[in-house]
Structure 1
Amino acid sequence: MVAQRNAAFAEESAEVEVLLASLGKTKDLTKKIAASLARLDASGQIVNDAIGPIYGNTKQLQVTSRNIDRVNEAIEKLRQPLDARGREENIIRQGPKSAGLPQYLAALKRVDKALTDLNSSGLRSNQQAISEFHNLLLTGVNQLNDLYRKMLQEDANSIEPLHFITKQIPFPSVAQDKAQTLGQISMAIASAGAHSARLGQRDDDVAARMYAEIRGDYINNSLQNLSMASISTSKRRNTDTTIYREGSSGVGAYAKALESMFLAEAENTSRIFRNDGGRVFGMTCSKALSTFARTLSELNSFIKSRLLTDCFLAYEILDLVTPLSYRLDSRTGQLRSQFADALRPLRETARSSFSDLLTQTRRQAETVSTLPPDGNTIPLVSESAKRLQTLANFDRPLLVLLSSIGDGNWKGPSSSAGLASQSSLNLELTPSAENPNLLSHYLLDLVDTLLGTLNTRSQTIHPKKSMQGIFQLNSAAVLARAVQSSPDLARYIGISPHNERLEKFRKRATELYMTSWREASMHLFDTIHTSGSRPMSGQGPGQAIDSTSIIKSLGSKDKDKIKEKFKVFNTSFDELVVRHKGLHMENEVRSYISREITALIEPLYARFWDRYHEVDKGKGKVVKYSKGELSGMLATL
C-alpha cells in the first residue's frame, strides 16, 4: 500500500514540473510580443507624421475642384438666359399669330423660367437683364391678353335663351379645342402676372378677371330681356283684383334660363381654369346674379303692395329658385349663399303673408256695410275660395314656411325681426319632416276668420234669422264647392277631421234658417183631449186612420182649435214658401234645405191631415192642402 502511494506522488510531482516549465516559456513569449508592439507603434507614428499633411492637402483640393465646377455650372446657367434673350425676343415680337401660338407660348415659358433663374441668383449684375426680360415678358403677355380677349369675344354675342328652352336645345358652350387653347393662354398670363406682382406692377388674376368680365356680360345681356319680361308679366293694374295664376309670370322662364346658362358656364370654367374653375365660375355669374336679385327685389315690392292677390307669386318664386340653387350647388359647389341672399326679401314677405292674409281677410269682412237682401253671398267669399285653392296648389313651399313659423303662430302680428333669423330657410325638407296638418290648420283658420266675421256682420245687417241662415249657408256652400272641385284643397280640409269645421258652420246656419219652419210646424201638434177613450189611429200597421170618427169624438171647441191650427199653418206655410222662393240659394243649398224642410213638415202634416182633414168635410176652406198637394208644394222648393 505504501509503495502504491509513493508512486502516485511521484507522478503528480512530474506533472507539476512540466507545468512550471511551460509557464516560464509563456512569460518569455509575452515579453517578446510586448517589445514588438512597442516597435510597431513607433513606426506608425512616424508614418502618420509623414503622410497626414499630404492627405489634408488632397482633401482641400477636392473641395476646391467641386466648388470650381459649381461656379462654372452657375455661370453657364446665367449665360443661358442671356444668350437666349435675342432668340425669344424675335419670337415674341412677331406675335402669337405670326410665330404660331404653340411656339409663342413656349417662348414666353422660357422667358418666364429665365426670369425665375435670374431672380434666384440674387446677383446685382443681373438687374439690368431682369428688367429687360421682364419688359419682354410684359410685351408678350400684352399681346397674349389681346388674343385672349378676342378669342373670348368671339363667343360673347348675346343669345335668346327662350329659343334654346322652347326647342330644348343645349345652351352653347366653348368648344373643347378652344377651351384647351384658352386654358394654356390663361396659365401663361397668370404666370407672367406673378412676376409682375413681385415687382409691384400687376397681379396674377388678370386672365380670370378678363374672362369673368366678358363672359359675365354675355350671360347678363342674354338674360336681360327675361328679367324685364318677369317684371312686366308680373305687374298689373291696381284695378285688377284677380288672384295671381300660377305660371303667368315670366320668372319661371327666367329662372330656367339662368340655371341652364350657369351650368353651361360651369363646364367652360372647369375646362379652362381646372382647379380654379369654381372661383372663376362664381366671378363670372356675379353680374347676372346681381341683376336677378334686383329683379326679385322689384317683384317683392310689387307683391307686398298686393299681398291678397299676389303673395302666390312669392311662393312660386321660392318653389322655383330654392331647388334651383341646390341643384347648382350640387353640380358646381358655388352660388348657394348668393341665391339665398337674393331670395331673402321674398322669403320674409312670404312668411309674413300668413298673418297678413288673416288680418286683411278679417278687415275686408268687417268693412262690409251691406249684404244682398235675398241672402246671396258676396264676392269676398268666392275670392277667398279661390285664394284657398291657390294656397293649396303651393303646398310644398307653404308647408316648409309654416314649419319654420310653428303651428298657430301665424295668428299673431308678423315681425320682420323675428323672421330674419330664418332667412336661410330650406325648401329641401324630407317628407317625414313636413306636417300636412300645419297647412290644414292654417287654411281652416282662414275659413273661420272669413265665415265667423261675415256671420257677425250678417247678424247686424240681416234682421231675420232665416236671412242670416241662408246667407251663411250660401257662403259655406261656395267654400265647400271650392274644396270639392280642387283635389289639392280637398287633401287638406276635405278629409276627416278637418272637414268637420265647415260642417259645423252649415249646421249652425241650418238651425237659423229652419227656425221659422219649426215655428210653423208647431201648429201641427195637437193637444186635443177627447171625452172617453181616444180614437185609435188604426187597428194595425196596414189600416188607415178614420178621420171622421176622430172628428165626431171632438167637442165644438176642440174642432175650432183644429180649424184654427189648419188656418194658421196654411198662412205660415204660404208665407214661408213665398219667402223661400224669393231667396237666392246655391244649388246645393236649395237641395239641402228642401230636404230639411220636407223631412220636418211632410210627416207632421201627413199625421195631422190623416187625423183631422174631415174637420171641414172636404170643402177646402180649412184644409187647404191634401197630403199630395203639400208634397207637391214641398217638391217645388
Structure 2
Amino acid sequence: MAVGLGSKAADEEARAEVEVLNSRLEKTSQLSKKIQASLSRLEANGKSMQDAIGPIYGNTQKLQVMGTNIEGILGAIERIRQPSDLKNSEEEIIRKGPEKAGLSAFLSSVKRLSKALSEMQRTNLRANQQALADLNRLLKAGNSQLESYFVKILQEDSRPIEPLTFITKDKPFPVLNQDLTTRLGLINSFISSVTRQTGFGGDSPVLQLYASVRGPYLLSTLQNLASASVNTAKKKVPDAVYRQGTNGIGTYAKGTEAAFLAEYENICKLFARDEWSKVLNLTCQGAISELARTLRELNAHIKLNLTTDCYLAYEIMEIITSLSANIDGRTGELKPSFAAALKPIRETGKSSLADLLEDTRRRINSIQTLPQDGSVPSITTEAMTRLQTMVDFLRPISSIMISIGDGGWKASTAAANASDQIPSLKSFDVTADGKQIFAHYCVDTIDTLLASLEQKGKATLKGKATLGVFVANNATVVDRMIRGSDLQPLLASRMADVDKWRKNGFQIYSVAWREPSAHLLDVQYTNRGQRPPSGSAAAIDSAAIVKGLSSKDKDAIKEKFRLFNASFDELVAKHKSLHMEREVREALSRQVRQMIEPLYCRFWDRYHEVDKGKGKYAKYNKAEISGVFLTLG
C-alpha cells in the first residue's frame, strides 16, 4: 500500500514537469513568431530608409570631392602667390648686396630664393613660369654679388709684401686674418653647396676666384726676388769664376717656399680637403711660370759663360730640387711643375760635363807656345780648380752622374742625353754611386788635360829634358791640388792614375841623359890577359889599366871623357835652367845621380890616369861629380 502511494506521487511530479516544459515551449514559439514579425517589419523599414538616404549620401560624396578640389585650387593659388610675395620680400635684400644688407642676412635671403626656386621647378606649374624666371634672375644676381664680394674681401688682405723683410728675420710669411677667413669660408661653403645642388658637376667658381686674386699676389710678392736673381748673375769681370752663394736664386727659393706654404695654410682653412690640390696649383701657377722664365734667363747666361758659371747651374739644381722636395713634403703638390721649370738648367748641367772636357782640349790646342822652361801653364791649375769647385756641388753633380751613367760625359752620349727626349727607367742605374762616377769623371778630366799637354809639348818644346820636366811638373801640380783639397777622399784610390803621368815625365827626362851615360860604357875583352879586378875601387889600378891600353884605345877613352864632359855639362846647365816643382827637382836629381854616378865612378876609377892627373880629360873626380849632383837637387 505504501508502494502504490509512492509511485503515484512520482507520476504526479513528472506530469507537473511536462506541463511546465510544454508551457515554456509554447511561449518560445510565440516569441519566435513575434521576432519574425519584427524582422519583417524592420526589413521593410530598412528598404524604405535606404531608398530615402541613398541620394543624400551621393550628394555628400560629391560635396567632399568638391571641397577637396576647392582646397587644392586655393593651395595652388597660394603657391602661385608665394613666389611673387617671396620675390617682393627678397628683392630688396638682393638689391642691397651682402655688404650693406649684412653677409648673414644676404646668405639667408639667397638660401630662401634657392629653396623656393627648387620647389617651383618640381611643381612645374605653367602659371609660375614668369615667377620662376624672376626668382632665377634674383638668385643669379645674388650668387654673382656673393662672388664679387668674395673677391673684394680677399683683396683687402692681398696686397703684395716685401719678402726680404720676412726672409732676413726668418719669419713666416703672413696668412689671411681670422675674421676675413671666416667670412670667406661662409661664402665659399654656400657657393660650393649651390654648385653641388645644380647637379651639373664641375668645380665651384670660388676656386678660380681665389686663384685670380692670390695668384697675382704671389707673383707680385716674388717679382723682385726673381729680378734680383737675374741681376746678380751679370758679370762685372768677364772671366770671373762664379762663387757659391753670390746669386740671388737662394733667396728667391726661400721666398717662394715661405710664400707657397703660407698660401697652402690659407687654402686648407677655406676649402674642402679634395679641393686643396687644385686650388694650390691654380694659385701658384703664375709664380711658377715666372720662376721658369727666370731660370731660362739664367740658363742663357750660363751657356754663354759655361766655363766660369757652370757652377751656378749646379747650385740652381740643388736649390730648386730642395725647394720642390720641401713643398712636396708639406703639400704633396707642385713637384712636376718645379721639375719642368728646372729642366733647361738640368740639361745644361748634364751637357756641361762633356763641354768642359772639350773646352780643356780646345784651349790647350789653341796655345801657340808653351813655357820653354817646362813650367806649368795656367790651364792646369784652372782645370784642377774647376774640379775642386765641383766638389762643393757634389750633390747635384752626383744626381747628374747617376742620370747620365758612368762615361755619359763622352761627346757622343752626352749629346744624346742632352736631347729633349724623356728618359726611361732603363736609362737610370738605381744602384749607381754618383760620387764614384764623379771620381771617374775627374780621372778622365786629368787624363785629357795631361795627354793634351804632352801632345802640345811634343810639338812646341825643344828637347826631351824640357818635355819630361813639363809633363812631370803638370802631373805634380795635379797631384798636389788633389791632396790639398776635398778631391783627396774621392780620388784616394785613383792616385796611381795621376802618378803614372809623373813617372812618364821622369822617363821622358831620363832619355836625355842616355847620351852621357852611353859615353861611360867601354868594351872589355876578358880573353885578353888578366881578368879586370872586381870589388872595391881601391882594388882597381887605373895606371896599370891605362898602361895596358893601346894608343888607339887610349885615344878612344880620352874621347869618351871629352864627349861625356860636354854632354854632362850641357845637361847640368839645362837641368838648372828648367823650372821644376820641388818634388820634381828632388826626384829628377836623384834619378840622374842614380843613373850617372855609378857609371862615372866606375869609368873614372879605371881610366882617370889617361891624362896623368892633369884633369884635361877626366874633368871631374868622384868627389867633384858628386858635388855637381848635389847642386841639381
- Bin for the TM-score computed over the shorter chain: 0.7 to 0.9
Q: Deviations over 1:7-55 (max 9, x none)?
A: xxxxxxxxxxxxxxxxxxxxxxxxxxxxxxxxxxxxxxxxxxx9xxxxx
Q: 1:258, CA displacement in angstroms? A: 1.4
Greater Cα shift, 453-462 or 314-323: 314-323
Q: Give distance in 2, aligned partners of 1:424 and 1:536.
A: 75
Shift of 1:72: 8.9
Cross-structure match for 2:232: 233
Mark the CA change 1:428 to 1:511 in structure 2 (over 3 Å): closer, same or farther: closer
Structure 1 segment 258-277 matched on structure 2, within 5 A:
258-275=256-273, 276-277=275-276
Shift in CA distance, 62/392, structure 1 to aligned 2, threshold 3 Å = farther
Residue 12 of structure 2 corresponds to which residue in structure 1?
none
Q: Would the alpha carbon gap of residues 426 and 536 (structure 1) be closer, same or farther in structure 2, given more than 3 Å must change?
A: closer
One-letter code aligned to 2:211:
A
Task: State the alpha-carbon separation in 2 of the partners of residues 428 and 167 from structure 1.
Answer: 41
Distance in 2, matches of 1:559 and 1:284, equals 101
Q: Which residue is equivalent to 2:20?
A: none
Q: In structure 2, how many angstroms separate the alpha carbons of the residues matched to 1:173 and 1:394?
A: 35
1:124-175: CA deviations, max 9, x gaps? 3333333333343344444434432332223222223233222211121223
- Does structure 1 conserve the Cα–Cα contact (< 8 Å) formed by 2:84 and 2:131? yes
Shift of the alpha carbon at 1:287? 0.7
Aligned-residue offset at 1:626: 5.1
Q: Relative to 1, partners in 2 of residues 1:435 and 1:338: Cα closer, same or farther, differing over 3 Å?
A: closer
Q: Given that residues 296 and 345 in structure 2 are in contact (C-alpha distance below 8 angstroms), is that contact kept between their aligned partners in structure 1?
A: yes
Matched, 1:454 2:453: yes
- Counterpart Cα distance in 2 of 1:226 and 1:331: 23
Secondary structure (helix, strand or coil) at the match of 2:513 reads helix
Equivalent position amino acid for 2:268 in 1? S
Establish whether residue 495 from structure 1 lines up as the match of residue 497 from structure 2: no
Q: Structure 1 546/63 Cα, relative in aligned 2: closer, same or farther at 3 Å? A: farther
Q: Residue deviations 1:261-301, cap 9 Å, x none?
A: 11111111121122312111111111111111111112222
**How far apart, CA to CA, are the structure 2 residues paired with 1:609 and 1:253?**
76
- CA 1:240–1:481: 2 relative to 1, 3 Å: farther
- 2:541 is paired with a residue whose SS is helix
Secondary structure of the 1:125 match is: helix
Instruction: Give the counterpart letter for 1:184 in structure 2.
Output: L
Alignment match, 1:36: none
Q: Distance in 1 between matches of 2:233 and 2:321?
A: 19
Query: Which letter maps to 1:590?
Result: R
> CA distance change for structure 1 residues 425 and 468 in 2, over 3 Å: closer, same or farther?
farther
Q: 1:554 aligns with which of 537, 546, 555?
A: 546
Q: What fraction of aligned residue pairs are identical, expressed as a percent?
A: 44
Once the two structures are overlaid, the 10-residue window that deviates more, 276-285 or 521-530, is 521-530
The answer to whether 1:508 aligns with 2:487 is no
Match of 1:421 in 2: 421
Question: Matched residues in 2 for 1:589 and 1:128: separation?
Answer: 104
For 2:135, the aligned partner's letter is F
Amino acid at match of 1:587: R
**1: distance between equivalents of 2:473 and 2:132?**
93
Tell me what 1:288 maps to: 287
Distance 1:147 1:434 in 2: 57
Quick check: 2:402–2:428 contact (8 Å CA) kept in 1?
Answer: no
**Equivalent position amino acid for 1:244 in 2:** Y
Distance in structure 2 (CA, Å) of the matches to 1:604 and 1:79: 131
Measured in 2, the distance between the counterparts of 1:205 and 1:225 equals 33
| Structure 2 residue runs without a partner (length 5+) | 1-49, 51-57
**Whole-angstrom distance in 1 between the partners of 2:126 and 2:277:** 41
Aligned pairs for 1:55-66 within 5 A: none
CA distance in 1, matches of 2:70, 2:615: 147
**Which residue identity does 1:495 align to in structure 2?**
A
1:102-125, CA deviations, whole angstroms, 9 ceiling, x for partnerless residues?
A: 333333333333333333332233
The 1-side partners of 2:256 and 2:428 are apart by 20
Residue number among 144, 148, 151 corresponding to 1:149 in the alignment? 151
Q: Structure 1 residue aligned with 2:254, among 251, 256, 272?
A: 256
Secondary structure class of the residue paired with 2:580: coil
Q: Once the two structures are superposed, what CA deviation does each residue of 1:157-216 show, in whole Å capped at 9, x if it has no partner?
A: 222323322221112122344323212222334556789998xxxx97443223212211
Distance across 2 between alignment mates of 1:70 and 1:310: 87
Q: Is the 8 A contact 1:402 1:438 kept in 2?
A: yes
Equivalent position of 1:591 in the other structure = 586
Q: 1:473 to 1:271 in 2, by over 3 A?
A: same
Partner of 1:434: 433
Task: Please name the residue that 1:44 is paired with.
Answer: none
Aligned pair partner of 1:172 in 174, 177, 187: 174
Deviates more, 1:243-252 or 1:84-93: 84-93
In structure 2, the partner of 1:636 is 631
The structure with the larger Rg is 2
Give 1:117-196 correspondences, 5 Å limit.
117-190=119-192
CA distance in 2, matches of 1:73, 1:330: 61
Match of 1:113 in 2: 115
Alignment of 1:444-593 (within 5 A): 444-487=443-486, 489-492=487-490, 494-496=491-493, 498-527=494-523, 531-538=529-536, 545-546=537-538, 549-555=541-547, 564-593=559-588
Counterpart of 2:7 in structure 1 is none
Which whole-Å CA distance do the structure 1 matches of 2:84 and 2:429 have between them?
66
**Helix, strand or coil: the match of 1:463?**
coil
The alpha carbon displacement at 1:66 in A equals: 11
Superposed, 1:213-362 pairs within 5 Å as 213-236=212-235, 240-275=238-273, 276-362=275-361
User: Normalised by the size of structure 2, how large is the TM-score?
Assistant: 0.78
- Describe the SS at the equivalent of 1:495: helix
Please name the residue that 1:26 is paired with: none
1:386-401 pair list within 5 angstroms: 386-401=385-400
**Residue identity in the other structure for 1:500:** A
SS at match of 1:410: coil
Name the stretch that deviates more: 462-471 or 612-621: 612-621
CA distance in 2, matches of 1:412, 1:65: 99
Q: CA RMSD in A?
A: 4.0
Q: 1:146 to 1:599 in 2, by over 3 A?
A: same
* Aligned partners of 1:547 and 1:611 also within 8 Å: no
- Indicate if the aligned counterparts of 1:465 and 1:515 stay in contact, CA closer than 8 A: yes
* Amino acid across the alignment from 1:173: V
1:254: how far off? 1.5
1:268 partner amino acid: N
Could you tell me which residue of structure 2 aligns to residue 15 of structure 1? none
1:499 aligned counterpart, secondary structure: helix
Q: CA, structure 1 residues 526+428, in 2 after alignment: closer, same or farther (shift >3 Å)?
A: closer
Q: Distance in 2 between matches of 1:444 and 1:63?
A: 106
Q: Give the number of equivalent residue pairs.
A: 568
Q: How far is the alpha carbon of 1:516 from its aligned partner?
A: 1.8
